[in-house]
Amino acid sequence: MQTSCQELDPVHAETRRLKFTPSSIVGAYLIEPERLEDERGFFARTFCQREFGEHGLIVRMAQSSISYNAKKYTLRGMHYQAAPQGETRLVRCTRGAIMDVLVDLRKESPTYREWLAVELTAENHRMVYIPEGIAHGFQTLVGETEVFYQISEFFDPASMRGVRWNDPALGIKWPRTPSVISERDANFPLLVKD
């Protein structure tokens, strides 16, 4: 017998569902929790295995990580993990604000080499679901920013890859020139023509 997340959690059954909005990148979603508000504040679900499964999304999460960024305009990215260790990520900003960027690197995808930017903040509680084969990065919009990741695969240093944040072939429009960027991220290779 199948049950919903609401049936499994009768105390918070009023929290209906997560809102899944397909993005302009095939397979990537913006996800917003429905909030149950009262005089204390609110309660909201940020993950439900059944709801993710209903949308055909990966439901296995092997790791969770946080990224703390002290300075405004810190840039991290553009990262991905190569097959067969490709990873799906669910990303949200738990403190501060970021411009979160996705680049589709799946050659068979109709959105190949397209990019998407979305603002994630501690206040808007939005999340981005990033399927395997998409490079991910972000730039902080304020100092003291923290980003929370749920990741489908274990980290594999040998599979770690990246593309240059300012690759002219992509033309990503970042808010500012990075105030802080790692040497590795600044020197990822440029994409070659297909």
CATH number at residue 115: 2.60.120.10
Count of domains for the chain: 1
Note the pLDDT of residue 80.
Answer: 97
149 tagged catalytic: yes
Q: Is the pTM of this model over 0.75?
A: yes
CB count, 10 Å around CB of 98?
A: 29
Note the pLDDT of residue 6.
Answer: 53
Residue in 12, 68, 112, 149 annotated catalytic: 149
Domain residue limits at 164: 62-186
In tens, the pLDDT along 159-180 reads 999 999 999 999 999 999 999 9
Residue 137, SS3 per DSSP: strand
Is residue 109 a contact partner of residue 68, using CB atoms and an 8 Å limit? Answer: no
Asked if residue 28 is part of any domain, the answer here is no
Per the listing, tokens 């397209």 go with 114
Edge to edge, the sheet with strand 115-121 lists: 115-121, 97-104, 134-140, 75-81, 160-162
Asked if residue 165 is part of any domain, the answer here is yes
Q: Please give the distance of CA 143 from its chain centroid, rounded to a whole number.
A: 19
Asked if residue 54 is part of any domain, the answer here is no
Asked if residue 106 is part of any domain, the answer here is yes
Residue in 79, 80, 112, 136 annotated catalytic: 79
Asked if residue 14 is part of any domain, the answer here is no
Q: Which of 21-25, 42-46, 61-65 shows the lowest mean pLDDT across its residues?
A: 42-46
79 tagged catalytic: yes
Asked if residue 30 is part of any domain, the answer here is no
Asked if residue 104 is part of any domain, the answer here is yes
